[in-house]
């Protein structure tokens, strides 16, 4: 398909394609049984993962920037009896909930910077549960580890708190760099994220400001790193949390409790 449509990988678009059918089927199984389910795929490229998602019985809406991929995707759509609809454009610019509709599983293998920007958007906002049902996302392994990290590790930071305070985030599988064409420099991993009940009375905006300050100076004690947020310092006192601790020692639950107390 790639050769027939002349789809040489573009470095500028962060294109590293997956072509191993068995591996792609395994990724398509990460969100669970997709038969009759709606899936939003970001960056389908020539459609390796799209084919696996359609093979699993999903109805797929895909957004792709590279118009060279559109004929290959049109072929896939024909073979799948019209279960694939493709939007040509930038995933960062489209209004997804409207384009895709609520309740879709999101699946993506994206360039690192686009993937992280979308993840932060999908995990943010005051409305919870979100419009999507689950996220199955390929990242550089180092980023995947930051998303699922536990306290008291060097990988634990903003991304972990953001991903875990009202979602379950798991590392679903590691993917060797040699599985991609062309192979990227680093290893990759698939992360699976499912929303859970949000803790009562916690605003996402407050938690984001809190984690940005706390991890902005992660080596400092909280009483220093949170100096710009007096309400956070007050919350530490109210909750009896030692202000000489560092951000990476606080559990996700403690961050949520501090954010709640900041708005109380």
Binding footprint of ligand SAM on the chain (CB under 6 A): 13-18, 42-45, 48-49, 63-66, 90-92, 109-111, 114
C-alpha torsion sign, points 203, 206, 209, 210:
negative
Q: Which is nearer to ligand SAM, 91 or 210 (CB)?
A: 91
Q: At what angle do helices 252-263 and 230-239 cross, to 10 degrees?
A: 110
Which two structure tokens, joined as six digits, stand for 253? 């639950």
Question: Minimal CA–CA distance to 175: which of 141, 136, 135?
Answer: 141
Q: Closest CB to ligand SAM among 113 and 153? A: 113
Contact 42, 105 (CB under 8 A): no
Closest to ligand SAM by CB, 15 vs 134, is 15
- The burial class, CB within 10 Å (0-12 / 13-18 / 19+), for 54 is buried
63 or 214: CB nearest ligand SAM: 63
Cis ω before 182 (30° cut-off from 0): yes
Cβ atoms < 10 Å from Cβ of 175: 22
Least spacing, CB of residue 91 vs ligand SAM, in Å: 4
Residue nearest to ligand SAM (CB): 43
Give the shortest CB-175-to-ligand SAM separation in angstroms: 10
Distance (Å, whole) CA 122 – CA 132: 8
Six token digits for residue 152:
């008291």
Min dist. Cβ of residue 144 to ligand SAM (A): 14
CB of 9 vs ligand SAM, minimal distance in Å: 8
Taking the C-alpha atoms of residue 107 and residue 100, their distance in angstroms, rounded to an integer, is: 13
Judge whether 201 and 257 are in contact, CB under 8 Å: no
In the complex, least distance from residue 101 CB atom to ligand SAM, rounded to whole angstroms:
18
For ligand SAM, the closer CB: 57 or 111: 111
Residue 44 vs 157, nearer CB to ligand SAM: 44
Smallest distance, ligand SAM to C-beta of residue 203, A: 29
């Amino acid at each position: 398909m790639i050769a027939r449509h002349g789809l040489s990988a573009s470095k500028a678009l962060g294109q590293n394609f997956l072509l191993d059918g068995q591996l792609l089927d395994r990724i398509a199984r990460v969100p669970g049984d997709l038969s009759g389910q709606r899936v939003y795929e970001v960056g389908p490229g020539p459609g390796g993962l799209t084919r696996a998602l359609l093979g699993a019985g999903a109805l797929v809406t895909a957004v792709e920037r590279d118009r060279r991929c559109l004929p290959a995707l049109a072929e896939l759509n024909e073979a799948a009896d019209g279960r694939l609809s493709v939007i040509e454009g930038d995933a960062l610019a489209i209004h997804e909930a409207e384009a895709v509709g609520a309740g879709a599983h999101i699946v993506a293998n994206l360039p690192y910077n686009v993937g992280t920007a979308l993840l932060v958007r999908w995990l943010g906002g005051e409305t919870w549960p979100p419009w999507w049902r689950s996220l199955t996302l390929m990242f550089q392994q180092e980023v995947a580890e930051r998303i699922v990290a536990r306290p008291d590790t060097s990988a634990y930071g903003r991304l972990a708190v953001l991903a875990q305070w009202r979602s379950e985030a798991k590392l679903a599988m590691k993917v060797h760099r040699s599985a991609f064409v062309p192979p990227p420099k680093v290893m990759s991993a698939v992360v699976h994220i499912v929303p859970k009940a949000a803790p009562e009375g916690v605003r996402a905006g407050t938690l984001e400001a809190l984690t940005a300050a706390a991890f902005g100076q992660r080596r400092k004690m909280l009483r220093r790193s949170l100096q710009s947020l007096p309400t956070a310092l007050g919350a530490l006192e109210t909750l009896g949390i030692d202000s000489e601790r560092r951000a990476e020692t606080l559990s996700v639950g403690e961050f949520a409790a501090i954010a709640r107390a900041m708005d109380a």
